[in-house]
Amino acid sequence: MSQSILILPGDGIGPEVAAAAKACLQAVAKLEGLEFTFSEAPFGGAGIDACGEPLPEDTLKAAEAADAIFLGAVGGPQWDHAPKRPEQGLLGLRKALGLFANLRPVKVFKGLEHLSPLKEDRVAGADVLIVRELTGGLYFGEKREGDEDAFDGCSYSRAEVSRIAEIGFKAAQGRKGKLTSVDKANVLATSRLWRKTVNDLSSQYPDVTVDHLYVDAAAMALVTHPARFDVIVTENLFGDILSDEAAVVAGSIGLLGSASLGASGPGLFEPIHGSAPDIAGQDKANPSGAIASAAMLLRYGLNQPKAADRLEAALESALQHEERTADLGGTAKGSAFAHSVLAHIHKEQVMEPAQ
C-alpha cells in the first residue's frame, strides 16, 4: 500500500535540502520495495507570497491527509516586517496537528569526533536524544506587546507534562535507561510542577534512572560532558535553546534532524537549522540534517525501521568517507554531498548479503 508524504519546501535553503531528502527517500523506497507518493505545498514565507498566509488552508488540508510531512525550512528577512511571519505557519501547523513532542537526536559518530569544535575526548561517545515539549509554555501563552511594556505568559498543566514525560521515559527504556529532566524549579512555578510530575511518573518506569538538572547547569554539561546524557526531557523554551546548543557537540547544526509527533495523525520532520537566506541558491547548504530527518520520517512517521537504518547507515558512511560541505571544513557542494549519500545507499545494498 502506498504511503503519502507531503513536502513543504519552505524558504531559503529549504527547497535545496528538501530535494536531497526526497531523492534519498525515493532511493531507499526502491531498494526496500516501498511505495511512496509525494506532493508539495506552499508554506511559511512561500505560503505568504502565494496565498497571503504562512499556513494556507489547502496546505493544512494536505497535511492532515498525509501519512507524514517533511519541512525544509521557514523564514527570511523579506518577511521581517510583514503583517504575518513565516514562523507563524510552523506554530499553527504544530497546534492544528497536535504535535506536542519534538525529538532531536544528537550523536557523535565514531571516527568523526574531530568534526566538533569541542575537544575530541570530550565529545567521544556522545549520543543524546532531546525530547522537547512543543505546544505549551511561553511560545503559546498569553501575550501582550507594546513599546513600553510586554508580557509572555508561561503555563503548563500536569497533563501536558505527563504526556511529554512519558515519551521521554519510553525513549529511555529503548536506549541506556537514563532520563534527565531539565527545568528551573528553583525559580519557576511551572518548573516545580514539571519536576513533581516527572517524579510521580518515575515509579511506573522502574527500569529508568531519573535525575534533574536546572537548565543553566544542563547547558554547561552539554558542552563539558555530553556523554553523561542519554535522554533529556524538557519544556518548550528550554528545549529549543538546548537542542540548538547541542549542535556544537556533533559539529554543525547542519547535521541534525528532528521529528515532531502527536498522539495520532501525521508527524512533521525537519532539519533543525534555519532557512540560511545568506547562502540560499548557492548550493552551499549541508543536506545532512534533512537526510537525517528523512530517516526519522521513515522510522517514526511511516514505521519503516529497516529503511531508516539503511538511510542512516548511508549518511554516516558518506560523512566518514566523502568530501564534506563547508560547514564541516570541506569543499563539497550540497548537491554533491547528497549524491554521495545516494551512492552509499546503493553500496549498502551491495554489502548487505555479506553481512
| Residue ranges with strand state E in the chain | 3-10, 36-40, 68-73, 101-107, 127-133, 143-144, 151-152, 178-183, 209-214, 231-234, 257-261, 267-271
pLDDT at 349: 57
Mean pLDDT rounded to a whole number for the chain: 95
Render pLDDT for 275-288 as a digit per residue (tens, 0 to 9).
Answer: 999 999 999 999 99
Whether the CB-CB separation of 108 and 116 falls below 8 Å is answered with yes
Q: Mean pLDDT throughout 189-199?
A: 98
Which one-letter DSSP state was computed for residue 141? S
Q: Mean pLDDT throughout 341-346?
A: 96
Q: Is the pLDDT of residue 304 over 90?
A: yes
pLDDT at 354: 41
At residue 1 the predicted structure's pLDDT band, cuts being 50, 70 and 90, is: confident
At residue 334 the predicted structure's pLDDT band, cuts being 50, 70 and 90, is: very high
Which one-letter DSSP state was computed for residue 93? H
Q: Is the pLDDT of residue 251 over 90?
A: no
pLDDT at 166: 97
Q: Mean pLDDT throughout 291-297?
A: 98
pLDDT at 109: 84
Which SS3 state, helix, strand or coil, does residue 268 take?
A: strand
pLDDT at 105: 95
Q: How far apart are CA 161 and CA 188, in angstroms?
A: 15
pLDDT at 340: 97
pLDDT at 350: 46
pLDDT at 348: 61
Which SS3 state, helix, strand or coil, does residue 270 take?
A: strand
pLDDT at 347: 84
Render pLDDT for 45-97 as a digit per residue (tens, 0 to 9).
Answer: 999 999 999 999 999 999 999 999 999 999 999 999 999 999 999 999 999 99
Q: How far apart are CA 266 and CA 98, in angstroms?
A: 10
pLDDT at 355: 43
Q: What is the pTM of this model?
A: 0.89
Active site residue ranges: 139, 184, 216, 240, 244
Q: Mean pLDDT throughout 110-116?
A: 87
Which SS3 state, helix, strand or coil, does residue 147 take?
A: coil
Q: Mean pLDDT throughout 211-230?
A: 97
Render pLDDT for 163-183 as a digit per residue (tens, 0 to 9).
Answer: 999 999 999 999 999 999 999
Q: Is the pLDDT of residue 217 over 90?
A: yes
